[in-house]
Amino acid sequence: MGEQHTVKFPQEVIEEYAALGLDLPALFSAGDLGTRMGIQILEASADRVVGTMPVEGNTQPYGLLHGGASAVLAETLGSVGSMLHGGSRKLAVGVDLNCTHHRGARSGLVTGVATPVHRGRSTATYEIVISDEQDKRVCTARLTCMLRDVDLSGGTGS
C-alpha cells in the first residue's frame, strides 16, 4: 500500500503549474492519508478523475470496506477535479460531502470515477461513483468544493 506512481496530466496543465514553480503530480497526489489508504490516482482532468483503493486495510470490524474509506476516496477524486477546474490560481476546499453506500466490498480494489455536475467560478461539484471489481456500485458520492483565490505572494488564499 502507498506506493508512488505517476499521474498522467494534460501537458498544457503541467506547463501552467511548472511556470509557477509547482510540481503538479506532487500537488495533486492523494496526500498522506491517501498514501496510507493505498489510493492511486490513475487519470486526472477537470472532466474526469479516476482512482483506485484497496479494500484490504480499509475495512470496518465486519470485514467490509469502511464507509469512511469510501468517503476519503470520493473527496480525494472530487478535490483533484475541482482543483484542475479552478486552475493554478485557485485552491479547492471541500465544503460538502454526501455519500450513499449501496453494497459492501470485502476484497480487491474499488475504483472511483469523478465527473463534474457543476463547474463555476466560486464552486465546483463532482459526482463520484465507486465500484468494485465486478463493476457493481459500492458508493455514490457528491462533493462540492469552494474555489478560493491563491495568494501568489506565498499565502494559500483569501
CATH classification number, 11-149, choose in 3.10.129.10, 1.10.443.10, 1.10.600.10, 3.30.470.20: 3.10.129.10
Q: What pLDDT does 65 receive?
A: 98
121 vs 29, higher pLDDT: 121
| pLDDT tier at 6, thresholds 50, 70, 90 | low
Distance CA 151, CA 106 (A): 44
**3-state SS record for the chain:** CCCCCCCECCHHHHHHHHCCCCCHHHHCCCHHHHHHHCCEEEEECCCCEEEEEECCCCECCCCCECHHHHHHHHHHHHHHHHHHHHCCCEEEEEEEEEEEECCCCCCCEEEEEEEEEEECCCEEEEEEEEECCCCCEEEEEEEEEEEEECCCCCCCCC
56, 75, 127, 133: the active-site residue: 75
Q: β-strand 109-119 against 123-131: which pairing, if any?
A: antiparallel
Contact call for residues 135 and 81 (beta carbons, < 8 A): no
Query: Which residues on neighbouring strands pair with residue 143, listed in sequence order?
Result: 97, 126
37 vs 4, higher pLDDT: 37
1 vs 49, higher pLDDT: 49
pLDDT average, residue stretch 116-128: 98
Q: Which of 96, 71, 69, 70 is nearest to 82 (CA)?
A: 96
Domain boundaries, the chain: 11-149
Distance CA 83, CA 87 (A): 6
Residue 129 has pLDDT above 80, yes or no: yes
Query: Has 75 been annotated as catalytic?
Result: yes
| pLDDT tier at 16, thresholds 50, 70, 90 | confident
Contact call for residues 139 and 130 (beta carbons, < 8 A): yes
89 vs 114, higher pLDDT: 114
